[in-house]
């Protein structure tokens, strides 16, 4: 019984939960998942790997947001939630996001 989950198993829901845990938007998970995220956040690599066998999507998202400088915008793109273009106010995306601002692709293209 194996689903062979990969880092690509980060769903919009997982991305939103992890973003919220680290204070970057998203939305709050249920009680169990909040504890799971706290455990993963504080785990050393060996324990994180163990947790990741059971919850690969969450583990991948945690690793991404903690160790990848592009982790936050990457997860925000995966979540595609709570993002609003700062130019046109559109919420449909796709978005080009950075730490400081979010633009939808049409507005991004229109910039110099």
Which parts of this chain interact with Zn ion (CB under 5 A)?
A: 85, 87-88, 90, 104, 107
The least distance separating Zn ion from the CB of residue 63, rounded to whole angstroms, comes to 31
- Toward Zn ion, which CB reaches closer, 71 or 73? 73
Give the nearest distance from C-beta 89 to Zn ion in angstroms. 7
Of 88, 38, 112, nearest to 104 by C-alpha is 88
| Residues written for the chain | 112
**Is the CB of 36 or the CB of 104 nearer to Zn ion?**
104
The whole-angstrom separation of Cα 107 and Cα 88 is 7
Shorter beta-carbon distance to Zn ion: residue 78 or 85: 85
CB 37 within 8 A of CB 17: yes
Supply the minimum distance, in Å, between the C-beta of residue 40 and Zn ion. Answer: 34
What are the structure tokens assigned to 9, written together?
A: 């198993």
């Amino acid at each position: 019984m194996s689903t062979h989950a990969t880092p690509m198993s980060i769903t919009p829901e997982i991305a939103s939960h992890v973003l919220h845990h680290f204070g970057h938007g998203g939305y709050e998970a249920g009680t169990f998942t909040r504890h799971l995220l706290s455990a993963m956040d504080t785990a050393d690599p060996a324990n994180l790997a163990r947790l990741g066998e059971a919850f690969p999507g969450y583990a991948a998202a945690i690793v991404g947001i903690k160790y990848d400088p592009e982790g936050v915008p990457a997860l925000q793109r995966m979540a595609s939630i709570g993002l609003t273009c700062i130019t046109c106010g559109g919420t449909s995306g796709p978005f080009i996001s950075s730490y400081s601002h979010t633009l939808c692709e049409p507005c991004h293209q229109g910039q110099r």
